[in-house]
Structures are given as C-alpha cells and as structure tokens.
Amino acid sequence: MFRSTILLSLCLLLSPHLSGQTSDLRVLKGEKARKVNHLLEQKQAKGFSGSIIVEEKGEVTLKVAHGYANRSRKIPYSTTTISTIGSITKPFTATAILNLEEQGKLDLNDPISKFISDLNTKLQSITIHQLLTHQSGLGSILVGNDFRVISREDFILRLKEQRLRFKPGEKVSYSNIGYTVLAYIIEEISGSSYEEYIQSNFLKPLGMHNTGYEFHSWNSESLAVGYRGNSEWGTVYEKIKTTNGNYWNLIGNGGLHTNLDDMYKWYLAMKNHDLISESMLSKLTKPHVKCSPKSITCFQSYAWLALYRNDGKDLVAVSHSGGNDILHADFFWYPEEEIFVFLMTNNSKFPASEVLDEVRAILRN
C-alpha cells in the first residue's frame, strides 16, 4: 500500500498536464496559513476550486490548490495550473507605459492624438494619464463581447466613432477600452506587438514563463476550465485561439494567463524594484484621484487600486481583481504589514474577491 502511494504521487508529479511547468510543490506554514487552508477546504466541500499563494514577512507561508481544474477529465487544480487573470492585465499595461516613459519615448500628458490620427475633437484631448486613471470618458467595450472577432484596424475605426461618457478628466469611470488604447500606443511606439513587448521587457527577464496570451502553446491539461455553476464554460485561451489573433476587445485590458509562481515573481519585482524601479512603482501606486467623490481610503492609481490612510498620505494596500464572472483572480499586497496574497478560482459561485475577503480577515486578524 505504501509503495503504491509513492508511485501514485510520482505519477501525479510527472503527469503530462504539468509538462513544461514547475512541480506542484505546496507550502503550509504557521497558524494563519492553516486557518486559511481550512477555510478553503470547507469551501471545496461546497464546490470551490482554485489556487492561492500567501507571503508573510518575506516568507511564503501558503501555496495550495483545491478542487478540480477540469471536472470532466478529473484533473485536480494544482499550484501550477494556468488561468486567466482578467483585468489584472491592466497593471502590466500600465507598467509597460511607464517603461516607455522612462525611456523618453512618451510623456504621460501626451494626448492620444499624438499616436492616433483623425480623431474627433473630443477624443483628441484624452491624455495617457487619463487613460491610466480611468478618467478618459471612454466606455467599457466597443462592440459585442470579449471574444468578438475584431482586428487592430477595426478597433481604431470603431474607437473613432465613440461618444464620450463625460469630459476627459472630469471623473473616474472604469474603462476597458482605455487600456486597449494604451496597448495600441505601446505597439505604435515600440514597433512590436503588445504581447511581444511585455514578454521581452518583463516576462522573460523575470522568468515568468507561464504568462501571456498566445505566446505559449499550452495544452488543455495545463489550463483551468471555467464553470458557470455546474455547466462547463471552457477556457479563455481556447476562445482567444478562435479569433486568429483578432481579439482587440481584450488586448491590454484583460485576458492574460498566469499561475501562482509567475504572479509571485511579478509581486517580487514590484517589492524588490527588479525591472520595476522604485520611481516607477511610486507612480504606479500614487493616489492620483479618489475612486469616488465620497471615498476616504480608496484611490485610483495607474491601473492599481490603492488604499491609503491620512487622506492619501500613507499607503496601506495595492490591489486589483479580474475575471469574467466565471474565472476569477484577485491580488492584494499590504506593504507595511508585509502580506501578499494572490488567489485564482474557476467557478462562478466562488468569485475570488469574495473568498479573498475572508482570507484577508484571517491574515490581518
């Protein structure tokens, strides 16, 4: 029996769906980590599936996965399972824009008309800063859904037909379109595709080998399948593939894929200023504008939501969530408390942000 258990463990560790990835190495250290894991075990009994990584005081105390990544094929969700992070794509886009600014290739106060010709008068005045802070007045999506076939050229044509919701800079209103415009600007300046730019400048140097859109040829066994309750929805990766590269409702604003290890590397790059300089991080997390006029602690930074106390003077947390109401992800970092947590789920009944509320309550007492 004991020998059979060892052989089974080895078979799971070396199974094909983990090919090309790091091993499914799990971590469970300390009382808080055990409480969080127990919470997730309880949720698994009710249908939860997903993965989580936690760092406390510079040490990873929890890295586990629960449930199935693929129910029909009985593939467990592992710590190496790859899934979409939805709108957590936006911080990658914002970082790329600040990288170009550091190179002197753009100014954050540049109007988008500098990079896109023949815009109407109202659109011409939108600045890169306003796109980054969701103050552009642009809407959420141009046409259809995330996977509507729309080419780069068609995106720009439809952009030129857009009517603004409000005067640029007047208020904050979340805009997916705005971040796709930023992706377009990145391409115009760099001469590379959006994904090529972030791969060559950030993902490859940081060793994030399981992050991207189409750059990697992941097999289906590596990916988390999304479930709307008990119904199988599929994967974002497979749906993107059907567009033959024409998914400009998503590029720059959503749809990137990653796993726990890669997202942890991105967090470390922020914390340790590895490729993301201290001045760049300061701009990324600066309290540029209140999330709403009545907001006391929530500020819109460049892509990130930043929680501050003392009227925007002291940074408490940096966060972003993402998903499509089926596949979810959530990122929280408390710099002063030295707590980082990243969670991914693949069941519509268990949004990552709701689960993470309970997790954060445990980690922060």
Note every long-range contact of 195-199, with CB atoms under 8 Å and residues 24 or more positions apart, other chains counting.
195/251, 197/96, 198/92, 198/93, 198/96
- Secondary structure of residue 233 in the 3-state scheme: strand
Task: Identify the burial level of 315 via C-beta atoms within 10 angstroms of its C-beta, where 0-12 means exposed, 13-18 middle and 19 or more buried.
Answer: buried
Q: How far is CA 348 from CA 158, 203, 232, 307, 329, in A?
A: 31, 29, 11, 27, 12
For the chain, the maximum distance between any two Cα atoms, rounded to a whole number of angstroms, is 75
d(CA 273, CA 34): 30
Q: Which two tokens stand for residue 300?
A: 């819109």
Q: Work out the number of other CB atoms within 10 angstroms of the CB of residue 190.
A: 18
> Residue 52: which of 325, 299, 362 has the closest Cα?
362
Q: Tell me: the pLDDT tens digits for 322-333?
A: 999 999 999 999
Nearest to 63 by CA among 85, 81, 47: 81
> 274-305 pLDDT, tens per residue?
999 999 999 999 999 999 888 889 999 999 99
User: Could you give the 3-state DSSP secondary structure of residue 318?
Assistant: strand
Cβ(235)–Cβ(257) under 8 Å? Answer: no
Query: pLDDT at position 20, please?
Result: 39
Give the residue ranges of the chain where pLDDT is below 70. 1-23
Q: What is the pTM of this model?
A: 0.92
CA 110 to CA 112: how far, in whole Å? 6
DSSP 8-state secondary structure symbol assigned to residue 224: P
Residue 257: left if φ>0, alpha if ψ -120 to 50, beta else—which one?
A: beta
Residue pair 48/66 in contact (Cβ under 8 Å)? The answer is yes
Residue type at 322 in one-letter notation: G
